[in-house]
Structure 1
């Protein structure tokens, strides 16, 4: 088992993240760079909102969603899929319309969808969680060309990720309350193989939130309540930590023409008035130079 203590030689001093969009998100999440739009999309789960940020023009637009929204990904038909509490919906920004496609957990009304990624083959991998953050009712699913399956990983209260290695053969998935990040091998057809512990976040460092993998195969994770994002090499060794002026960092995404800008979503959730006064930028979208490029995104064929 790997414990995430900062090793000798790991970089503690890094770039200073800057707020690039003030949205005051209650629970900002799911940032994703969509190349066809040259824009970053992300959600505010508790604010029931989808946001689009165009950094070249420095403009943003928002859409209200019919319920809690955990993630947004582009689809092969030029539209988007969003993970609402009621299931996966097709989202058309032009008409601001939502149409239900799949309801994988209609039998679990206390659950909601929480995070997602798209594989090189167009498969959508996503997780669910107990909205009350108590029961171990969160599962990992794979949706591809109309077929949605629970992949059979052990349930946890709050799933985060999944994220995929550059070759698409390793699936990283997070048990947030347990502070564990796991890795599971994948066959070429997406069938799961052996699961092992990738790393554990130590007490006092926050909770691992959304994971993202860069072009060098290293994994980044936001730390909810930890004031930082961290980067781990493929062996699970902590090699970098970047500190933020806000406590709750949820996830990063690589964007820009060369995918060399890191965008980070943050959250106001759980902060009292004193904390909010001390963290006026909580809930904003941040950007920083990660010193490495990200992986090209994919469109979902669902």
Structure 2
């Protein structure tokens, strides 16, 4: 599979790609040069909004606006005005943490993770946010959470312990985690954002691993897609048929020599994954 750059924006830490059908566009963020970005494939339009703090993700809301995860908490984001309004601050007591990745479950609840911004202390937790509030899911804390992502039936939640190089699979019932098992050990780079396709296979991006892996639902490795850059952070399925894979990448941590060798580090890439993704869900918050 050939990957190609569709926006060479040189993101410091590109993350959180999500295809939003109502916009016919891919949204994503740059965490460290805090901004929200939108790429419209049909026109090639590239648009950006500055964020007031490190921003880990952005997701579509049923209200027509967006929900964004910042270091200061979960915010409502209005692209028309660029305004951010605080909704929840689950870790106001942990100023060294930030929100890092998230997804919308079938019932419209947002599942989100946090991490130690210093990438050392095991202070990262997973939360579930709905109209009733934000609660800890009870999953064990790790330094860097990534994901979560759901299986097509909504019964399995995939989530990563990035520094521990492990992908976990949790059984979810009625919005609660009831059991967790090891899904995959990663021996090349670090597991970054996971994504699940329409066939239930799990795509794991490899930070410092030069690629993306696809696993079947049992955890068996099916294929690896190689990139011309080292740090792949997450993929999302988009396009009118959800059969184009978009990948965010990062220049973070690269030396001057490595940057010269990887001129497309931090670009947004696209490739044909040979499979469709799952349709997105609007957040009911």
TM-score (norm 2): 0.99
Question: Quick one: distance in 2 between partners of 1:88 and 1:145?
Answer: 13
Q: 1:279 aligns with which of 241, 254, 262?
A: 262
Question: Quick one: distance in 1 between partners of 2:14 and 2:132?
Answer: 29
Q: 2:108 aligns with which of 110, 114, 122?
A: 122
Measured after TM superposition, the shift of residue 145 of structure 1 is: 1.2
Matched, 1:216 2:216: no
Matched, 1:239 2:225: no
Q: 2:27 aligns with which of 41, 48, 51?
A: 41
Deviations along 1:182-224, one digit per CA (max 9) or x if unpaired, are: 011011x21111100000001xx10000000000000001100
SS at match of 2:281: coil
SS at match of 1:36: helix
Matched, 1:88 2:71: no
* Structural RMSD (CA): 0.5
Matched, 1:176 2:159: no
Matched, 1:105 2:91: yes
TM-score (norm 1): 0.94
Q: 2:134 aligns with which of 139, 148, 167?
A: 148
Question: Quick one: distance in 2 between partners of 1:16 and 1:249?
Answer: 15
The match for 1:267 is 250
- Structure 1 runs (4+) deviating above 4 angstroms are none
Question: Quick one: distance in 2 between partners of 1:53 and 1:146?
Answer: 33
Question: Quick one: distance in 2 between partners of 1:286 and 1:229?
Answer: 12
The match for 2:65 is 79
Question: Quick one: distance in 2 between partners of 1:191 and 1:269?
Answer: 35
The match for 1:64 is 50
Question: Quick one: distance in 2 between partners of 1:238 and 1:180?
Answer: 14
Deviations along 1:200-252, one digit per CA (max 9) or x if unpaired, are: 001xx100000000000000011000000000000000001000000000000
Question: Quick one: distance in 2 between partners of 1:191 and 1:278?
Answer: 45
